[in-house]
Amino acid sequence: MTTPTSPATRTVWSDLVGQRPTIEVLQHAAAGVGMTHAWLFTGPPGSGRSNVARAFAAALQCERQTGCGECEACRLGMSGSHPDITWVKSETSVLYVDDMRDLVLSAAKFPAIGRWQIVVIEDADRLGTPENPRTGNALLKAIEEPTPKTLWLLCAPTVQDVLPTIRSRCRTLTLATPGTRDVAAFLTGNDDISEAMAGFAARASQGHIGRARALALDEETRNRRREVVSIPARLTSLGSCMTAATTLAELAKQETEAITADAERRELAELQSIFGSERKDTASRSYRAALAGLEKLQKQKAKRRVLDVIDRALMDLVSVYRDAIALSVGAPGLLVNEELRGDVTVVARAASPEELLRMIDSIFTAREQMLEFNVPPQLALESMTVALRLPGGRG
């Protein structure tokens, strides 16, 4: 058996923060010990599910079966350009059944240059629900009886988010949320970020590596977060609640527009390039149909991105109320929002720990309303902020 690479060597595993037990399992699997045809990686946002899947896929193609990080297979795998590693990531709320059927056909092919034909599905939680499992059912047979050289790597927040028929056929590995010290050390070591900024970003991101990096490197991201976490102390009247809901919705809209504008222009240019002069023909049904399809998809992507941005803001709000509970009960240590200790103190003094827990519950209720029941964000946010109004502030 090939032994796992030394931790001192820079390999495909080197940037996985706080996941040593998982890495050891996957290193041995890549070397042929404990290997299976389907894996499910679960863990909270920021735990690095897709990064773990990327590293494992690269290691499985590695010429040395270790994930050495030096061979061509490792480099192609980590860059996302290996011809035998297919990435599936949904930018809408669901993965579509027709796309999955096409994926099943391509996954059955023999590897072109690698050891395996690997399919990575980053959003396996969007394969459907027990009530509407069509998309997942399209994959079920392929995952249940894969071809000898086909591997499936699925990612989802929790096991319960994945259809029972799918998850029962996978080996599950649950990732941990990286600790604040690990995240801060990663930022200082990889991005040349000062210790003070790395410490702030690690705390504020609550272990989310990508979020921590954005907070450390981008002032606008820090400003948007500061605006969000300063909201709880201001919720003293009905008017302030309505204003806060609008602020949250507008911040999400602005961030989404910044993300999508360039991508939408690029997608439109690519479509126009494909159709060439035909797009200028007003009678061209094929171009008009393709354009309508693109516009519909872009609207779906934008809607999902708005919800994702709001979801992150809600988790930032939750961190304030958890900090307030920590102050109320005298828990030691730094707050997640240490730089806003004054605002957190205001919230802690205004509400009991029991009331603060109810406020956290109202945030998760709003999250469920938007993500699961398609309640318009403005409406859900208004209901939430009213529930977050501080006791005594009834004006």
Question: 355-394 pLDDT, tens per residue?
Answer: 999 999 999 999 999 988 889 999 999 999 999 999 975 4
With contact defined as beta carbons under 8 Å apart, do 142 and 104 qualify? yes
Mean pLDDT of 91-97: 59
Crossing angle (nearest 10°) for helices 180-191 and 209-217: 50
Q: Which of 48, 336, 319 is nearest to 210 (CA)?
A: 48
pLDDT in tens, 287-336: 888 888 888 877 877 888 889 899 999 999 999 999 999 999 999 888 99
Res. 47: pLDDT tops 80: yes
User: Using CA atoms in the order 29, 117, 17, 332, what is the torsion angle rounded to 10 degrees?
Assistant: -90
Mean pLDDT of the chain: 89
Mean pLDDT of 257-273: 81
Res. 2: pLDDT tops 60: no
- CA distances to 42, 87, 162, 175 from 137, in Å: 20, 19, 12, 26
pLDDT value of residue 94: 54
Mean pLDDT of 147-174: 93
pLDDT value of residue 260: 80
Report the C-alpha gap between 56 and 4 in whole angstroms. Answer: 13
To the question of pTM greater than 0.85 for the whole model, the response is no
- CA distances to 11, 71, 119 from 113, in Å: 21, 13, 15
pLDDT in tens, 231-243: 999 999 999 999 9
Task: Return the structure tokens found at 141.
Answer: 């047979």
Q: What letter would DSSP give residue 170?
A: S
Mean pLDDT of 207-234: 94
With contact defined as beta carbons under 8 Å apart, do 182 and 192 qualify? no
Residue 152, beta-bridge partner list: 38, 119
Confidence of residue 282 (pLDDT cuts 50, 70, 90): low
Q: Which of 45, 51, 105 is nearest to 80 (CA)?
A: 51
